Amino acid sequence: MNDVSKRIEKRRDSSMLGGGQKRVDAQHSKGKLTARERIDALLDEESFEEWDMFVEHNCRDFGMDSNRVPGDGVITGHGKINGRPVFVYSQDFTVFGGSLSSAHARKICKVMDQAMKVGAPVIGINDSGGARIQEGVASLAGYADVFQRNVLASGVIPQISMIMGPCAGGAVYSPAITDFIFMIRNSSYMFVTGPDVVKTVTHEEVSAEKLGGALTHTSTSGVADLAFENDIEALVQVRRFFDFIPLSNRERPPVQPTNDPVDRLESSLDTLVPHDPNRPYDMFELIYKTVDEHDFFEIQPDYAGNIIIGFGRLGGMPVGVVANQPMVLAGCLDIDSSRKAARFVRFCDCFGIPIITLVDVPGFLPGTSQEYGGIIKHGAKLLFAYAEATVPKLTVITRKAYGGAYDVMSSKHLRGDLNYSWPSAEIAVMGPKGAVEIIFREEIDDPDKIAQRTRDYREKFANPLVASQHGFIDDIIPPHSTRARLCRGLELLVNKKLDNPSKKHDNIPL
Amino acid sequence: MFNKILIANRGEIACRVIKTAKTMGISTVAIFSEQDAMALHVAMADEAVCIGPAPASESYLNTDNIVAIAKQTGSDAVHPGYGFLSEKSEFAAAIESAGIIFIGPSKDAISAMGDKIRSKKIAEDAGVSTVPGYLGVVEGITEAIKIAEDIGYPLMIKASAGGGGKGMRIAHNSAELSEGFQLAANEALASFGDGRIFLEKYIEKPRHIEIQILGDKYGNVIHLGERECSIQRRHQKIIEEAPSAFLDSDTRGEMGAQAVALAKAVKYSSAGTVEFIVDEKSNFYFLEMNTRLQVEHPVTEFVTGIDLVEQMIRIASGEKISLGQEDVRCDGWAIEARVYAEDPSRNFLPSTGRLNQYKEPVTSDSIRIDSGVIEGSEISIFYDPLISKLIAFGSSREVALEKLKKALSVYLIRGIAHNIPFLTAVISNKRFAEADFSTDFLAEEFLEGFAPEKAIGSRMGIFIAAAAFVRAKIDSRVNPVASNSYIIQSADLESEKIPVEVEVSWDSCNAIVNVGGSFLPLESDWSPGSAILQANINGVDHNFVLKENEIGLSLTSGIYRADLIILTPSQSRLYGYMPANEEPDLTRYLLAPMPGLLVRLSVDVGDVVKDGDELAVVEAMKMENVLRSERDGTIAKVNFLPGDHLEVDQVILEYDE
């Protein structure tokens, strides 16, 4: 072997070893995989093509010039998930704690630029102590370069962030901009300022896990979408997730052949909605029995449970499902559920994924905490998202569709393409009792009269007839035929063409 | 013949009666509580009328309402089913006095047989063999001990008004007798409002064998052979069969003749059952007579070919029994398994909720299912937790058992806990297969309840092949060029986690699964989304119930289960670095073991409790369950109040750290 080849091999070996066996062992002892191992588990066997293995930082301060590792703390490249292309970067905590140097940032930017050109998603695996402090502002510039690309890529290619270790300070803003954030319980955390700073400034004592762990972000803040038990579980599931999304906004969502009949009838759905309008039922049953093969990938299951979002397929075509959940807060819309669903609707619209909306909503949650928290603007986000969406929109009202919440939930008035209702639907300004107490305020002291008025109101409005007389409901369908009708509708709408007026961009109420 | 009958019952038995009525061209009226508005029997009947709120006392036990509805709907007759009002002579009387026919025996026959002491006297007078004992009401403990010396120990202390095992006690000596006597009297008084107690010799290792009889209004009585119902848990029958593998034809004939004699003695006119206990030497003793259709009647119908409900209706309408005793045949073997909504791994606690997924085995000439539910039905806390009865018929006991086992393996129930794996375990038990059992069988063999066994050894190989097939089927659809190579290991923390290399290759539509070097051909028409995998693996048929999880698959097959982790080779190599999942420490909490009503809270915050102390009482399915402390500690927090409704696993109270 000639000298150059030897030098190449030496560098390659050095890059492959990362921060050395000791640090690799330390990473493993924390139950974490190394950057390369994560890529191996994520991508199809032997599909990974690595780029920039020889890149090194060019910092000369603080003795860094003698401390270089080829690759500089991030592995980048591309590979395949179930045969479909994807770009990947994976930060290596064993090399400089995975800290971000300008060289490290340039590697990330390179795969992002290429992903934009070819139209393929980017999965970023974050495991980094933060900025490469020795580089100072050059490191900060690197972050900003990544942010800028994240923003420009938003809505063009799907971007997924896996948080598999620390992600603190400015570093959090790249994942924050991406479409989905997946975290690992007990080994990952995200925060803008860490527990030490929190303690100094606010005198709060809080652990890193409690401040920004997977549980916090998937159930309290709603920053993250899914929490997993360990690295392998997360990587296996992100592969499953990947099968639902298109490669870019230039492609259609990936259709998966299925043996599940599109005209499958589910007679048990006829008894899903209980007779008592105040008794809850589990909306998941409708979702599971409607989508292909009971296969539903839920997003944000632990946050704002009063609305369910996630991906499924109808006749092989991926769809985004948004559904009120009567089991939680009676399925009402509040700040958290509005934000959760709005962002999901916009993701689906960006990438041409049809939206199925299942409605059982008694209205918006009342109260000072909601009003002070700005439910007006947050609720408006969901309204805005549905109204601007041009993908096929199919809606089924199972029970309650009251007040403004009726309008919001992908109604006909917001350009809903197919709006069905079950016979059990109640489409009205509000529930019979509330309505009567307003209309017949002067009779409020006479319980018999009020009861009669309530019965009358229920008779008139606690059904889908009035709404269908207006044409706001296209058809009243038996629950057992829901899958069949949605599949048929989707087949019809697959080539739907609708454009919003040309503009620089809209001004969604943030 | 009647034009219209009302069925004063719910669930599977209401559906059962409606079916026969339909084939006879009789229209049907169902009654239902508010809880049952969407129940199957309501949908099946020609008419249905709501009779009141969910609690049975306000609906299915409300005689006045039922009589009123029968009149209002113009029903000619009322079939009471079993349970509820079926053995209340007052109910029969109320129906008759409204000018409507009660499909069952006369009220006099019901009341004669309803009282244990009276029925035993009548039986003795009719020449029926009875258990040696004292038929009078025992006045007190001193008298009891004196009587006991005459009869001899062991003794059975029984409540005169008893039933379902309530108020029954066994005493082996005078000390146990004095203690048990008082307890039985108290329990009988509390349960039946009647504290009368009598004593009987206790028959050891008894088998429960009963004779089905049919009598008409003209004094004709025949018997339809026996059913053996020895497989019981706390006097609740679980598995029943006809004929009994134990009886010889002389004993059978003798029991039949005595049953007929007893029926004649009370002028019995309908279907009825005379229950006997039979000891190891084939001595049989009269136990009681059930003056109604039995839950387990289908096994008799299978072997005799006679529709008992049809016979009951014909007899009630005044027809004579068209069969003579010599016309009654007994061909083949029938076995019934009762599918209950109860959790064998949690001491058979009842489970309630919606049947999210419910697929029954396919019925045929040899598989019958009597059920009152369909997918989407609700098992509520208000009624009996019986989901269905699965009955298999075959030319021999072995054939019937095999068919029953197979049918159980493709029975899918999700949404609530059920006893299907337990039923499979019972009928797979060696002693059961050899018919070597008594009514103590379940207590002897399944004292701790039942949890599926872990698949090991070559059985594990079959499970792994099935799991790999399922996974490969999914993967090759997503990615047709997928390699279908996996490493599969058990997810079970206790078992050895030896990963096995598995590769699936396709031979037209069948698969060859290479499990660690042995090649297993696998044929199946399974497609993704189906929760049941029926596969022929290496020439043997296997059925699995599947449940996907984050990184693998759980499979249950018969009494075996396996939780498997299925990874690609590179994922599997790395899986060893993953930290072991720690089981959450639940000893600090008292969890609700079942859904139900919190009746009583026996402790308050700050109370110091000892292991075994009563903490709370939860009522579910009409049963009060005492929850006891399993540790010493101090109560730190109480999350519910008496009267609150509990869901399963809700934290009722918390201990100090």
What is the per-residue pLDDT for B164? 56
CB–CB of A163/A223 below 8 Å? Answer: no
Answer yes or no: same fold for A2-242 and A267-425+463-493: yes
Identify the CATH class of A2-242.
alpha beta
Domain A267-425+463-493 has CATH 3.40.50.720: no
Give the whole-angstrom CA distance, residue B612 versus residue B248: 48
Question: Which residue of chain B has the CA closest to A30?
Answer: B579
Q: What is the pLDDT of residues B275-318, one digit of tens each?
A: 999 999 999 999 999 999 999 999 999 999 999 999 999 999 99
| Domain ranges for chain A | 2-242, 267-425+463-493, 431-462
Q: What's the confidence (pLDDT) of residue A183? A: 97
pLDDT higher for A118 or B160? A118
How far apart are alpha carbons B35 and A440 in whole angstroms?
33
At A332-391, the pLDDT tens digits run 999 999 999 999 999 999 999 999 999 999 999 999 999 999 999 999 999 999 999 999
Query: Quick check: B326 pLDDT over 70?
Result: yes
pLDDT of res. B347 = 81
Using one digit for the tens of pLDDT, what is the confidence trace for B139-176? 888 888 888 888 888 888 887 776 556 667 888 888 88
Residue B645 has pLDDT above 90, yes or no: no
Cβ-based contacts of B44 with chain A (< 8 Å): none
Nearest CA in chain A to B528: A293
Write the burial class of residue A229 (CB in 10 Å: 0-12 exposed, 13-18 middle, 19+ buried). Answer: middle
DSSP string, B199-230: EEEPPSS-EEEEEEEEE-TTS-EEEEEEEEEE
Give the contacts of B177 (CB within 8 A, at least 6 positions apart).
B141, B144, B145, B148, B155, B157, B171
A57-94 core/surface letters (b: 16 or more CB in 10 A; e: else)? bebeeeebeeebbbbbbbbbbbbbbbebebbbbbbbbb
Cβ <8 Å between A41 and B574? yes
Residue A31: active-site member: no
Beta-bridge partner residues of B159: B197
Q: How far is A391 from chain B (nearest CA, A)?
A: 24
Query: Does position A87 have pLDDT exceeding 60, yes or no?
Result: yes
Q: What percent of chain A has pLDDT over 90?
A: 80
Q: Can you give the pLDDT at residue B413?
A: 96
Cβ separation of A270 and B376 shorter than 8 Å?
yes
Report whether pLDDT(B493) > 70.
Answer: no
Q: Which chain B residue lies closest to A284 (C-alpha atoms)?
A: B356
Encoded tokens for A482? 């829901």
User: What local confidence, expressed as pLDDT, does residue B139 receive?
Assistant: 81
Nearest to B578 among A230, A275, A294 (CB): A230
Strands (E), A300-414: 307-314, 317-324, 355-361, 393-402
- B356 close contact with A: CB closer than 8 A: yes
Residue B595 has pLDDT above 80, yes or no: no
A108 touches chain B (CB under 8 A): no
Q: Determine whether the interchain pair B578/A294 forms a contact, defined as Cβ–Cβ distance below 8 Å.
A: no
Percent of chain B with pLDDT over 70: 96
Question: Are B577 and A237 within 8 A, CB to CB?
Answer: no
- Rounded to an integer, the average pLDDT of A480-508 is 96
Residue B584: pLDDT band with limits 50, 70, 90: low
Residue A45 is nearest to which of B358, B477, B483, comparing CB atoms?
B483
Q: Which tens digits make up the pLDDT trace of B199-240?
A: 888 888 999 999 999 999 999 999 999 999 999 998 889 999
Is-contact B461 B515, C-beta < 8 A?
Answer: yes
Q: What's residue B338's pLDDT?
A: 97
* A257 neighbourhood in chain B, CB within 8 Å: 477
Higher-confidence residue: B139 or A153?
Answer: A153
Nearest to B529 among A257, A270, A294 (CB): A294
pLDDT category, B15, cuts 50, 70, 90?
very high
Bridge partners, B338 (sequence order): B389
User: What is the pLDDT of chain A when averaged over all its residues?
Assistant: 94
* pLDDT at residue A56, as a whole number: 87
| Partner residue opposite B479 with nearest CB, options A37, A83, A259 | A83
Contacts of A231 in chain B (CB under 8 A): 574, 577-578
Q: Which two tokens stand for residue B294?
A: 């039995």
Model confidence at B87, in pLDDT bands (50, 70, 90)?
very high
Spatial CB neighbours of A450, under 8 Å, sequence gap ≥ 6:
A436, A437, A440, A443, A444
> Between A and B, how many CB-CB pairs are < 8 A?
99
Residue of B nearest to A236 (CA): B551
Say which amino acid occupies B650: Q
Residue B624 has pLDDT above 70, yes or no: yes
Catalytic, out of A208, A227, A304, A405: A405
Sequence letter at residue B547: K
The interface predicted TM-score (ipTM) is 0.91
Record: contact A293-B569, CB cut-off 8 A:
no
| C-alpha of A385 from chain center | 14
- B404-421 pLDDT, tens per residue? 999 999 999 999 999 999
What pLDDT, on the 0 to 100 scale, is given for residue B488? 92
CB B470 within 8 A of CB B525: no
Distance CA(B163)–CA(A453), nearest Å, equals 51
Of B426, B66, B419, B125, residue with least CA distance to B262:
B125
All residues of chain B having their beta carbon less than 8 Å from the beta carbon of residue A232 are 551, 567, 571, 574-575, 578
Contacts of B478 in chain A (CB under 8 A): 82-83, 243, 256
How confident is the model over B59-65, as a mean pLDDT?
94
B339-366: burial string, b at 16+ Cβ within 10 Å, e else: bbbbbbeeebbbbbbbbbbbbbbeeeeb
Active site residue A169: yes
Given a cut of 70, whether residue A197 has pLDDT beyond it is yes
Q: Which residues contact B103 (CB under 8 A, 6 or more apart)?
A: B5, B77, B78, B79, B80, B270, B312, B313, B316
- Give me the mean pLDDT over the A135-144 stretch: 92
Instruction: With beta carbons under 8 A apart, name residues in chain B contacting A256.
Output: 477-478
User: What's the mean pLDDT in B122-145?
Assistant: 86
Domains and CATH numbers, chain B: 4-103 (3.40.50.20), 106-130+207-324 (3.30.470.20), 132-201 (3.30.1490.20), 332-444 (3.30.470.20), 457-575 (3.30.700.30), 589-655 (2.40.50.100)
The tens digit of pLDDT for each residue in A245-283 reads 999 999 999 999 999 999 999 999 999 999 888 889 999
Tell me the pLDDT of chain B averaged across its residues. 90
B463 pLDDT more than 90? yes
Catalytic residues of B: 288
Residue A325, both tokens: 């959940």
Residue B622 banded pLDDT, cuts 50, 70, 90: low
Identify from A43, A46, A233, A278 which residue to disrupt to test chain B contact, counting B C-beta atoms within 10 A and taking the largest count.
A233
